[in-house]
Amino acid sequence: MPRAAKPRYLGAMKLSASQLAGQALVVGFDGAALPEWVRTALSEGRLGGVILFRRNLPELAAIAALNAAVVAAAAGPPPLIGLDEEGGRVRRMPAPFPALPAMRRLGDTEDQALARRVGRGLGAALGAFGFNLDFAPVLDVDTNPSNPIIGDRAFSSEPERAGALGAAFGLGLMEAGVLACGKHFPGHGDTVSDSHLELPRVDHGRERLERVELAPFAAAIRAGLPALMSAHVVYPALDPARPATLSRAIATDLLRDRLGFGGVLFSDDLEMRALADHHAVEESAVLAVEAGCDVLLVCSRRDFVERAHEALAREAERSPAFHARLRQAFERSRVLRESHPPRPSADPTSPLAVLAALAASLHAD
C-alpha cells in the first residue's frame, strides 16, 4: 500500500481493516538492525510490535538503539517490544547481561517476596534497554519427567507453588514497568512432545486439568497478570478438535467466561509446527483471532507475516463480526501498551548490578 501519513494516535481515528489486522501482529525479523519493511509497517500503523531473539541481540551496546528505532517508527499506541527472558536455558540477552538460573531454582525457595524482587530486578534491567514485554513467567506445572520442552522452566511440580511464585515474579516485572505474559495456557507441563516440532496432547479429564494445569493460571489471573500466551496443544476434555490457540471453547469460554480473564491473550508463534503442519498461516491467523487470541506472534518469516496480515484484513473486510473482533483485540492491546510504554534509557546498564546480585545469590544457594 502507498505510504500513509503517520497518524498521531490510532485509538482516536477509524482504523482501516489493514491497520486493525496489523495491530494484531507482533513479529520477528533477522539481523541486529530494524528492517525497512518492519519500519514501514510500524509507521503506517500496520504492526503492533516486535519480538526479539538472540539473532537480533549480538551485543548489549546496540540493544537500546534498536528498541529506540522501533519506538520512533511506531504510529499510534506505544509498540510492544518483547522477548523471552525466562532465566535458565531460555534467555535472549547477551553477556554481560546477568544470567538468572532456571525458574525451578526460584520455585524451590518457596519465597514469594524473593520471586517478586527477582522479577522487579529483571524488569528494571530489561526496561532500561527498551523492552516493555517479557514472555514470562512460565505457569506450566512440571508433572511429566519425559516432557522435552518445559522441565525446569516451570517454577514447580506443585500447582499452588507454581502459581504463587509465578504470579509474584510477574508482578515484580510489572512493578518495574515491563509487562508479564504467563504461558502456556491452559498448561504445557504434561506433554511428551514439543509443540515447536509437532502437535502435543494432554489427555487428562477436566477435573484433573482444573486441579493441576489450570490452577496456576487461575492464581495469576486473580493476582492481576495482564497477559497470557496460548498453548499449541490439544486438550480433548476441553476441545477434542482444536488446539488451545484455535479453540473458542478454551480461549474464550474457559479463559474469559469461566476464569474471568480480562487481559490480552497472545498466541504462541504461528510458525511452530504444531500449527503449521496442520494449517496454513492464513487459516491459523483467522482461527486464532476468532477463538479469542488478541495478538498473534509470527516470529521469523516475512512471507508468513504478510500472508497472515492479508488474511486478517481480508476477513475483516468480508465479515462485520470479524472486524468487530479485531477492534476488540486492538482495544485490549491498546490499554496494555499505554499502561507500560517502552522507555529505552540513555544509560541502560545502570540497573544490571542489582540483577547481578540477585542472580548470584540464587546461583550460590
Instruction: Name the residues annotated as catalytic.
Output: 196, 268
End-to-end CA separation in angstroms for the chain? 56
Q: Please return the burial class of 159, using the count of CB atoms within 10 Å of its CB with bins 0-12, 13-18 and 19+.
A: buried
Which contiguous run of DSSP H or E holds residue 185? Answer: strand 179-185
- Closest C-alpha among 214, 42, 201 to residue 139: 214
Contacts of 162 (CB under 8 A, 6+ apart): 107, 139, 140, 141, 142, 154, 155, 156, 215, 216
Cell 521469523, located at residue = 300
Residue type, 199: L
Note the Cα 205 to chain centre separation in Å: 27
Residue type, 313: A
Q: Please return the burial class of 203, using the count of CB atoms within 10 Å of its CB with bins 0-12, 13-18 and 19+.
A: exposed
Contacts of 156 (CB under 8 A, 6+ apart): 104, 107, 108, 141, 142, 162, 165
Q: Which residue stretches of the chain are H helix?
A: 17-23, 36-43, 63-73, 103-109, 112-128, 159-175, 206-208, 215-223, 248, 273-276, 281-291, 302-318, 320-339, 352-364
Cβ proximity of 297 and 266 under 8 Å? yes
Q: What is the crossing angle of helices 112-128 and 159-175, to 10°? A: 40
Residue type, 173: L
What is the number of alpha carbons within 13 Å of residue 275 lying toward its C-beta? Answer: 27
